C-alpha cells in the first residue's frame, strides 16, 4: 500500500484508504494512523472538505494523535476549505490538551477564520493562549 506511487491502487481504493485514515483520526487511532503514514499515506492528506488528519484529531480532542502526527511531519497550521485551523477547532471544542500540544508545535494563532485568538475570545479560553 505505498501511496507514493499509488502502489497499483485504483482511485477508488485510494479514496477508501483515505476515508479509513480520516475515521482513525476522528477516533484517535494513533497506532494504525502511524502504520498508514509509514506505508506511504501523506501525513497531510485531506478529505473532500479539506480537513487534514491533524485537523480531525484536534477537533475530536485526541492530543496524543495530534502530537504523533506532528512528530511525523503534519502541518499544525493546515486549514480546511472553510479556512479553519486545527487550533481554532480545538478551542471551539474545548480540547484544552490539544490546544497545548498545538501551541507547543508553534501553531499560528493569527491565521484562519476565525483566528485562534478570536476563537479563544469567543469561547472564554484566552487563558489557553497566554504566554
What are the chain's domains? Answer: 6-129 (1.25.40.20)
- Please give the pLDDT value at position 2: 42
The model's pTM: 0.90
- Please give the pLDDT value at position 8: 72
- Please give the pLDDT value at position 7: 60
Residue of 18, 67, 30 lying closest to 90 (CA atoms):
67
- Please give the pLDDT value at position 3: 46
Contact between 116 and 85 under an 8 Å Cβ cutoff? The reply is yes
pLDDT tens, N- to C-terminus, the chain (131 residues): 444 455 678 889 989 999 999 999 999 999 999 999 999 999 999 999 999 999 999 999 999 999 999 999 999 999 999 999 999 999 999 999 999 999 999 999 999 999 999 999 998 999 989 86
Q: How far apart are CA 128 and CA 21, in angstroms?
A: 29
- Please give the pLDDT value at position 9: 80
Three-class DSSP labels, 18-40: HHHHHHHHHHCCHHHHHHHHHCC
Amino acid at each position: 500500500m505505498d501511496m507514493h506511487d499509488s502502489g497499483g491502487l485504483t482511485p477508488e481504493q485510494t479514496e477508501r484508504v483515505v476515508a479509513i485514515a480520516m475515521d482513525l483520526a476522528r477516533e484517535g487511532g494513533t497506532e494504525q494512523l502511524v502504520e498508514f503514514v509509514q506505508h506511504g499515506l501523506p501525513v497531510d492528506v485531506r478529505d473532500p472538505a479539506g480537513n487534514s488528519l491533524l485537523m480531525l484529531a484536534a477537533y475530536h480532542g485526541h492530543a496524543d494523535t495530534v502530537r504523533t502526527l506532528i512528530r511525523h511531519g503534519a502541518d499544525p497550521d493546515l486549514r480546511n476549505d472553510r479556512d479553519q485551523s486545527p487550533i481554532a477547532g480545538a478551542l471551539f471544542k474545548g480540547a484544552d490538551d490539544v490546544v497545548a500540544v498545538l501551541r507547543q508545535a508553534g501553531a499560528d494563532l493569527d491565521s484562519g477564520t476565525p483566528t485562534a485568538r478570536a476563537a479563544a475570545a469567543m469561547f472564554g479560553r484566552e487563558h489557553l493562549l497566554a504566554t
